[in-house]
Amino acid sequence: MTNQIKQKKVDPAVLLTALIILCVYVGVFIAEQVISPNSMLFTVLKKGATYALVAVSMNLLNGFTGIFSLGQAGFMLIGAYTYAIFTIPVEHRASVYQYFNGGVIQFTLPWFVAMILAGLVAAFFAWLIGLPVLRLKSDYLAIATLGFAEIIRAILQWNQLGPVTNGSNMLRLFPNFNSFNITNAEGKVTVYLSTFVPFLIAGICIALIVLLLHSGYGRAFKSIRDDEIAAEAMGVNLAHHKQLAFCISSFFAGVGGAMLAMYQTTVQAKSFTTAMTYEILLIVVIGGIGSVTGSVLSSFLFVACSEWWLRFLDNEQFIGDFQVPLLRNGFRLVVFSVIIMIVVLFFRRGIMGTRELPDLLRRRRKEAGIK
Amino acid sequence: MSEVRQRPHTKMVTYPSNAVIPERDLGKNPVLECSHLGIEFGGLKAVEDFNLVLGRTEIAGLIGPNGAGKTTIFNLLTKVYQPTHGSVLIDGLDTHGMTTVDVSKAGVARTFQNIRLFGNMSVEDNVRIGLHNQIKYDMFTGIFRLPRYFTKEKQQHEKAMELLDIFGMSSLADVKAGSLPYGAQRRLEIVRALATNPKLLLLDEPAAGMNPHETQELMDNILRIRDTFQISVMLIEHDMNLVMGICEGICVLNFGRVIAKGTPEEIQSNPVVIEAYLGKKKEGGQ
Ligand SMILES: Nc1ncnc2c1ncn2[C@@H]1O[C@H](COP(=O)(O)OP(=O)(O)OP(=O)(O)O)[C@@H](O)[C@H]1O
Ligand SMILES: [Mg+2]
């Protein structure tokens, strides 16, 4: 019996998943070279990739560790500002910080260094908040993080910090997604990468989260989610693991914030509202609390609906001479809200429940096998 | 059908003051020493002046009517509650100020009266959580899949399977714990507790909801666990066949106080116990 230890072979469903993901990346790369860069498709893909990362980071906390945080917008804000402040080229600082004599920071970091720094600063703030709050009951974290997000938004707009944060003025002219395009000597784009690179960044970050979830640490997180008391009795240090999950989640929210800054090309603190956190929360719920695949899919669906597919509802439409009723500015939001209400009411477990892509592929094959 | 092992007669001897432990455990430190242990919940004395010494390989029973304070004692031993009075020594180590995790590391593992498995995780992963402080690696190793990750994961897998085999559950390794039948869930809780490598195993009503056949098997397994791992087991149980069948020392609790202590034979013939507990049960039940 004992020397009959099962040698775990590589799961074909996992291989198939890897293949599908590879195809998506190849598809994005090709699409970017052949379709006009102004297509709505790329707006959706860029913002979708950004939201996917933030949603997965939120799911790591809410879905896998079972602690509820509402600070995502706050950590994104920290990430976006950190990234923007350290990457604005020195020659542009005078114009960006026009009310603050060009600001105090007179150096520039490479974009990826600034992006990692964005995550680290966000994680540091999470650590500070977590220190007192995570020892209390779970509910306090939601309140504390919600408050934190509001406070940090106010602080960053504070005029006294202007030489660093530019006060309530916009930060701009930092490298954005278009900076990833490769141009020739005349400034003409030869290879488009402005969608591919954000996909790559989000993909790598999400992969790191998935690897973490499938290690002993991920198991400990899930045990806390399923039963705190039992986890503690088995020797799982609750405060330590919650702090870890919270800091990691915030790190990736910070990186996501940096990506959002790149997507928007400008950053202003006042746009990182609580409503943004609720948007992310909604994405997580629609995708399935406890499913990384669900969060990713629902990010793209959500962004596509809100930015693209439902746009026509905002414009007056004519079929022949007949004006379609109800279609006017703002109607999109009404339809959008109704769709979300239906999903939340009737598909409580979201698109994926707690399943992941490989689970779906496995199930398919099993059913086929039975037939 | 496997033959049910009968409890060999244990000679109980007095240990320092008036505590009684099995003779074979005399040379070694007792695994548990409670003295004057007590807790109050807003004036209600749920447990009062609880004294107990457990031998290293003793199987002890904690019985008493509903609400007597049995589960509360387990919660005190595992620091779910901090005692308001008295002290607990585990293997000679004073647990004053310790947390639940500290006590787990010191060698106390438990199961729960109302099953508390990690319902959304697989059977194997439940056991692996128990192994979590035994076989571990750092986060960097985990995320970047360094060689150590694979060796440690393999060790965890093998150990988990070995433990599941005690109850013949290794074929269920990939099943979601929450979807197991009731009896299997109780057994899995014991396996998970064993995975923490305890010196003292606390079982809170392990036979609740089991049929007589399953209970017989459980008795056999508890004895086997004690013999193979050489640990002490303390169990709370209402099933008197189980308690009288395998426990060497029994402690009877009523309204938070110990009303009797002794061997199964002594307890069965103790008039105070019969009145407070067994007598009452006979009236109500069979
Ligand atoms: N956290 C608490 N706060 C207040 N009272 C409590 C608490 N925990 C237990 N008690 C009380 O302590 C007493 C003992 O409860 P306990 O759960 O230990 O009983 P038990 O002997 O395990 O009973 P059962 O056989 O029903 O499991 C009960 O009166 C209960 O109401
Ligand atoms: Mg009880």
User: What ipTM is given for this predicted complex?
Assistant: 0.89
Cα of B10 from ligand 2 centre, angstroms: 27
Closest by Cα among A98, A57, A111, A106 to A250: A57
Q: Is the pLDDT of residue A56 over 80?
A: yes
Residues 110-139 of B with CB under 8 A from A: 110, 112, 116-121, 125, 128-130, 132-133, 136-137, 139
By the 8 A CB rule, do B90 and B67 touch? no
All residue ranges of chain B with pLDDT < 70 are: 1-8, 14-18, 277-286
The DSSP symbol for B254 reads: E
A11's torsion region: left (phi>0), alpha (psi -120 to 50) or beta?
beta
CB within 8 Å: B139 and A212: yes
- Find residue B37's DSSP bridge partners: B50
Q: How many CB atoms lie within 10 A of CB A101?
A: 11
Q: How far apart are CA B40 and CA B51, in angstroms?
A: 16
Find, among A46, A60, A25, A45, the residue nearest to A252 by Cα.
A60
Q: What is the pTM of this model?
A: 0.90
For residue A11, what are its two tokens? 């799961």
Strand B85-90 relative to strand B257-262: parallel, antiparallel, unpaired?
unpaired
Q: B124 and B195 in contact (C-beta within 8 Å)?
A: no
Measured between beta carbons, which residues in chain B are less than 8 angstroms from residue A362? none
CA distance B105 to chain A (A): 7
Tokens 């109980």 locate to B12
DSSP state of A186: T
Q: Which atom of ligand 1 approaches the CA of B81 most closely?
A: 1
Kindly state the average pLDDT of the residues A309-335: 72
Q: Is A209 helix (H, G, I), strand (E, B) or coil?
A: helix
Q: How far apart are CA B186 and CA B204, in angstroms?
A: 10
- B22 forms beta bridges with B12
Decide: A274 and A70 in contact? Cβ < 8 Å: yes
- The ligand 1 atom at the shortest distance from the C-alpha of residue B64 is 21
Rounded Cα gap, residues A241 and A212, in angstroms: 12
One-letter amino acid of B18: N
- Residue A366: its pLDDT value, please? 54
| Residues listed for chain B | 286
Contacts by A1-9 with C-beta closer than 8 Å and gap 24+? A1/B165, A2/B162, A5/B158, A5/B161, A8/B157
Atom 10 (ligand 1): residue with closest C-alpha? B46
- In three-state secondary structure terms, A165 is helix
The average pLDDT across A335-351 equals 79
Contact A223, B129 (CB under 8 A): yes
Per-residue buried b or exposed e for A131-168, using 16+ beta carbons within 10 Å of the residue's own CB: eebbeeebeebbebbbebbeebbeebbeeeebbebbbe
- How far apart CA B38 and CA B117 sit, in angstroms, is 28
Range of weakest confidence among A8-22, A163-177, B61-75 = A8-22
- Per residue in A312-327, is it b (16+ CB within 10 Å) or e — as a string? ebeeeeeeeeeeeeeb
Taking residue A280's Cβ as centre, other Cβ atoms within 10 Å add up to 25
CA distance to partner chain A, nearest, from residue B36 (Å): 24
Q: Once rounded to an integer, what is the mean pLDDT over residues A190-199?
A: 91
Domains of chain B: 1-107+198-286 (3.40.50.300), 119-194 (no CATH)
Q: Give the H or E element holding residue B22.
A: strand B19-22
pLDDT at A93: 87
CA R_g for chain B: 19
- pLDDT band (50, 70, 90) for residue A5: very low
**Closest approach atom of ligand 1 to CA B70:** 21
- The first and second tokens of residue B141, run together, are 């190793």
Provide the pLDDT for residue A363: 67
**Which residue has its alpha carbon closest to ligand 1 atom 18?**
B69
Residue A51 confidence class, pLDDT cut points 50, 70, 90? very high
Model pLDDT, residue A369: 46
- What average pLDDT does chain A have? 88
Question: Cβ atoms within 10 A of the Cβ of A33, count?
Answer: 13
Instruction: Determine the pLDDT at residue A197.
Output: 94
For chain B, give the longest Cα–Cα distance. Answer: 65
Cα radius of gyration (chain A):
22
Report which of B33, B220, B197 is spatially closest to residue B107, judged by C-alpha positions.
B197
Return the pLDDT at B1: 42
Q: What pLDDT sits at residue A105?
A: 85
Ligand 1: residue of B40, B41, B76, B251 to mutate (most ligand atoms within 8 A of CB) is B41
Count the Cβ atoms, other than its own, within 10 Å of residue B117: 24
Rounded to an integer, the average pLDDT of A228-239 is 95
- Could you give the 3-state DSSP secondary structure of residue B263? coil
Which amino acid is present at A283? I
Provide the 3-class DSSP secondary structure of residue B144: coil
A256 or A354, which is more confident: A256
**A245 in Cβ contact with A68 (< 8 Å):** no
Q: Which of B74, B101, B188 has the highest number of chain A CBs within 10 A, making it the mutation to test binding with A?
A: B101
Give the whole-angstrom CA distance, residue B45 versus residue B212.
Answer: 35
**Phi, psi at A82, each rounded to 5°:** -55, -45
- pLDDT tens column, A238-282: 999 999 999 999 999 999 999 999 999 999 999 998 889 988 998
User: A66-111 pLDDT, tens per residue?
Assistant: 998 899 999 999 999 999 999 999 998 888 888 888 888 888 999 9
Give the H or E element holding residue A4. none
Query: Which helix (DSSP H) or strand (DSSP E) does residue A252 occupy?
Result: helix A238-264
**Predicted pLDDT of residue A364:** 60
Distance CA(B221)–CA(A314), nearest Å, equals 70
pLDDT value for B28: 79
Sign of CA dihedral B142, B144, B148, B154: positive
CB neighbours of A156 closer than 8 A, spacing ≥ 6? A77, A81, A165, A269
Cα B71 to averaged position of ligand 2 atoms, centre (Å) = 4
Tokens 């199987």, residue? B59
Nearest residue, CB atoms, B118 vs list A8, A230, A238 = A230
3-class state of residue B46 by DSSP: strand
C-beta neighbour count of B63 within 10 angstroms = 25
Paired with A266 in beta bridges are A172
pLDDT of residue B75: 96
Cβ distance A177 to A263 under 8 Å?
Answer: yes
Please report how many Cα atoms fall inside a 13 Å half-sphere around the Cα of residue B201, on the Cβ side: 28
Give the pLDDT band of residue A309 (cuts 50, 70, 90): confident
Q: Which two tokens stand for residue A285?
A: 């719920």
Cα-based distances in Å from A122 to A81, A109, A159, A361, B87:
10, 17, 22, 36, 44
pLDDT for res B283: 45
